Amino acid sequence: MALKAVIFDMDGVLVDSEGFWAKAELEVFSSYGVQITDELAAQTKYMTTKEVTEFWYGKFPWENLDVPSVEHEVVSKVIELIQTENCTMSGIQEFVKDLKNKEYKIGLATNAPLRVADAVLEKLQIRDYFDTVHSSEFEEQGKPHPAVYLTAAQKLGISPEHCIAIEDSHSGLKAAKAAGMKTIVFTNNDQSIDFEQADFKIKDFKEGLLPVLIH
C-alpha cells in the first residue's frame, strides 16, 4: 500500500470527548422535557448531532423552540467542555507532527459539526498540520455512510486506496472501509477493544505510525 494520507476521526481519537456529548445531551434535552434512558441513548451513540436532536424531538416533542436551536445548544455545551476540561489524547500532537514531517497529507473526517472540530484543533494547537477538515454536517448522511471520508479524500486530492483512516468505533471503521480506505483502530490502551474489520491497531499514539504499518 502506497500510503499518502492519514485521515483522523475526532471524538475518541484526537480528544477523549465521548462523555462530553452524553453530558451535554442529558443537560440540554432534559431541560426541554426529554426523558433520556440508557436504552434510548444507546440508539443515538453514532448519530450526527442533527440526527440525535431529531431523534429526541420525535420521542418527546418540545414547544417554542426549533430543532436547530436545541442542537446548537448541545454543540455549544460540548465546545465549552472541550475548552475547559483536560481531554487531549496523550501523544496526539507529536503523532500528527511526525506525520507532517514525513510529508503525509493529513485530514479530519468527523460526524461532529465543524465548529466542534475547529475547537478541538485550536485546543490541541495542531490546526496548521491538517490539510483538510470535513464534517458529516455537509453530507446527506453521517458515518457509517462513507460520504465524509470520500469527500475528505477528494479535498486532499488523494485516492481513497492511498488513504488510511484512524477510528475508534465500528461505525467509523465501516465508513472508512466503504470508502475504500485501509483502517486503524485506536484503542487508547483498552485491551477489550478488538475490531476485526480494522487492518491495524494503535494502542497509544506514542507508538507512532511506522510500527503499525510494518506488522
Residues labelled catalytic? 9, 11
Beta-carbon contacts of residue 66 (< 8 Å; ≥ 6 apart)? none
By the 10 Å C-beta count (0-12 exposed, 13-18 middle, 19+ buried), 42 is classed as exposed
By the 10 Å C-beta count (0-12 exposed, 13-18 middle, 19+ buried), 146 is classed as buried
Instruction: Give the C-alpha separation, 82 to 77, whole Å.
Output: 9
Residues counted in the chain: 215
Q: 164 with 6: CB under 8 angstroms?
A: yes
* Grid coordinates of 162: 492511498
Instruction: Give the C-alpha separation, 178 to 27, whole Å.
Output: 35
* Grid coordinates of 69: 436551536
